[in-house]
Structure 1
Amino acid sequence: MRYKKKIISLASILALISTNISFADTFSSKLELTKDINTNLSMYKQNNINDMFTIQTKEIKQESEFFKSDIKYPYLKIKEEYINNNKVNKKHIENINKQIENYIIKFNNKIKKEAKEYQELYETKFSKSDEDYVKYQYELISDFKVTYNKNNLISIPITTYAFMGGAHGMTYLKSFNYDLSTGKEIKLKDVFKEDVNYKEIVNSFVKKEIEKSEDIYFGEKEGFNGINENQEFYIEEGKLVIYFQLYDIAPYYVGIPKFEMTVDEFGEYFKMKF
């Protein structure tokens, strides 16, 4: 009887040891898996420049009798903990900020200069005339949207509205697309694989989209006749957006024509991942 009890007791101990070993193995495996995930996540964060800066808003507000501006534009600021990190090239970030700011400043100065010329004309000629001239205040309004900021890519379309008298103002769309790992501005051809004819693919797509509502677009001579090397675009999550300025391929009332090429449909041709 004692012998049987010893056997049962020994079996229980062995079972318990086996269970503990199994639990320890499982726990160890989970720890290793967690460690691998954390390591990969850490490596991703180290290699993902998008996480190393914040996007702030700079503003320009000016107003006089003949000119008014209300401008918002982006500024990329490197986070303090990454200032001395070799992964972030400060010159790249500074260059991006400089290009965006130069565009805004030039636009603002241009409209401001034209407002000054109009003011001089109004004060020297129009105000002394017997005719009833309308007095205009030139206006510039600008804002931006970050449509993509992942995978070391950033895409920021800036919308600017300028009023310089007349029936209505004009809206302009300018996108800033960059590869953060190189600091270079992305051209449309860079989005596509080298072995594909990107112009042919885009042209075919845009033409098909226009045909769906061809009555709102200009005819062949004034309308869409294909893209060029400087075709404007921006990137969204899972989309490449091709766009045209007012009056480029359609009347004013159509607005800024945009054509979305999705990753689901055209992903096989894209080199970049978004």
Structure 2
Amino acid sequence: MNYTPMPNTCLYNPLYIQYVEDIGKNQYFYYDLEYPIFHNVKNSYFQVDETILTNLNNTIYSSVYTFKDGVFEEEQQMDKINSDNSKINYQVYSDYDITFNKNQVISLKLNLFAYEGVKSVAYNDLYNYNIDLLTGKQLLLKDIFREGVDYIKLINDYINYNIKQNPKLYYPNLVVDIPEDQSFYLTDQGIVIYFAIDEVSPKEAGSAKFLLEFSKFDSYINPRFFCNTQPSRKYMNRSRPRPQNHRYYY
């Protein structure tokens, strides 16, 4: 049964979120991968099309293991080049955060990072998945705003204003002009616009993020994404159980 909430209502998605951790290692390569698998809850008010959940689960899985396999291939190549005394240990990690989960919309971020040696960060990537659970489509920024809002100008003005308030944190003379497919994720507080490492600020500063709070921009926001109702305990994200589906190789 599909259910479309009325404006300003807030219903949490009745999804069971399975936590998976996959750990493996060999002499010079170690990985610890955490990622979610989404399932419907039986007899709930809303059932997501199983194809949509399967596509989402497969996409997340592919992102995690494509990243891991790419770093592993790099380690194998370096292994052939370097002598035994100069071989480099590689470590790969993933973790995630489900940042928005209501009104048939889910938003999560997936952190993928890898280390060369003890402390040298080789990769630090942040992926986002903003999915309309009614259609299975990936949401764009335009979908978060009311029809007719010049959201590009609104966001650019907000980000550039914040940059001017703290210019030392960013590259000199920076003016941001975001594309229509700008990276973002949703939280209960608002829209988080983020940029890749070294895109608008030095690498040492990490990924630059800007929060547009729903409460400050409510007249521009599609009400589907902004409400103040407290979550129902029945449908809140469940605490993570013990890791499942371990796989090891040596």
Give me the whole-angstrom Cα distance separating, in 2, the residues matched to 1:166 and 1:198.
43
- Which residue is 2:172 aligned to? 219
1:99 positional shift: 1.1
Paired residues of 1:224 and 1:249 also in contact (CA < 8 A): no
**2:148 is aligned with 1:148:** no
- Which residue is 1:183 aligned to? 136
Tell me which amino acid in the other structure corresponds to 2:55. Answer: N
Q: Describe the shift of the 1:86–1:199 C-alpha distance in structure 2 as closer, same or farther (beyond 3 A).
A: closer
- Which residue is 1:14 aligned to? none
Paired residues of 2:40 and 2:47 also in contact (CA < 8 A): no
**2:214 is aligned with 1:263:** yes
Paired residues of 2:108 and 2:185 also in contact (CA < 8 A): yes
String of CA shifts for 1:209-242, please: whole Å, max 9, x gaps.
Answer: 111110120123xx45311122111111131111
Gaps of 5+ in 2: 227-250
1:48 positional shift: 5.6
Give me the whole-angstrom Cα distance separating, in 2, the residues matched to 1:259 and 1:178.
21
Highest Rg: 1 or 2? 1
1:144 positional shift: 0.6
String of CA shifts for 1:125-178, please: whole Å, max 9, x gaps.
Answer: x34xxxxx6431111111011111111111111112212359720322111111
Give me the whole-angstrom Cα distance separating, in 1, the residues matched to 2:24 and 2:144.
38
1:268 positional shift: 1.2
Instruction: Give the root-mean-square deviation of aligned CA atoms.
Output: 2.4
1:258 positional shift: 0.9
Paired residues of 2:4 and 2:103 also in contact (CA < 8 A): no
Give me the whole-angstrom Cα distance separating, in 2, the residues matched to 1:254 and 1:95.
34
Give me the whole-angstrom Cα distance separating, in 2, the residues matched to 1:161 and 1:117.
19
Q: Describe the shift of the 1:253–1:91 C-alpha distance in structure 2 as closer, same or farther (beyond 3 A).
A: same
Q: Describe the shift of the 1:181–1:187 C-alpha distance in structure 2 as closer, same or farther (beyond 3 A).
A: same
Paired residues of 1:49 and 1:88 also in contact (CA < 8 A): no
Give me the whole-angstrom Cα distance separating, in 2, the residues matched to 1:224 and 1:254.
18
Moved over 4 A (4+): none
Give me the whole-angstrom Cα distance separating, in 2, the residues matched to 1:244 and 1:80.
38
Q: Describe the shift of the 1:256–1:86 C-alpha distance in structure 2 as closer, same or farther (beyond 3 A).
A: closer
**2:192 is aligned with 1:232:** no
Q: Percent identity at matched positions?
A: 27
Give me the whole-angstrom Cα distance separating, in 2, the residues matched to 1:151 and 1:86.
10
Corresponding residue SS for 1:109: helix
Paired residues of 2:18 and 2:39 also in contact (CA < 8 A): yes
Give me the whole-angstrom Cα distance separating, in 2, the residues matched to 1:73 and 1:102.
11
Give me the whole-angstrom Cα distance separating, in 1, the residues matched to 2:225 and 2:118.
44
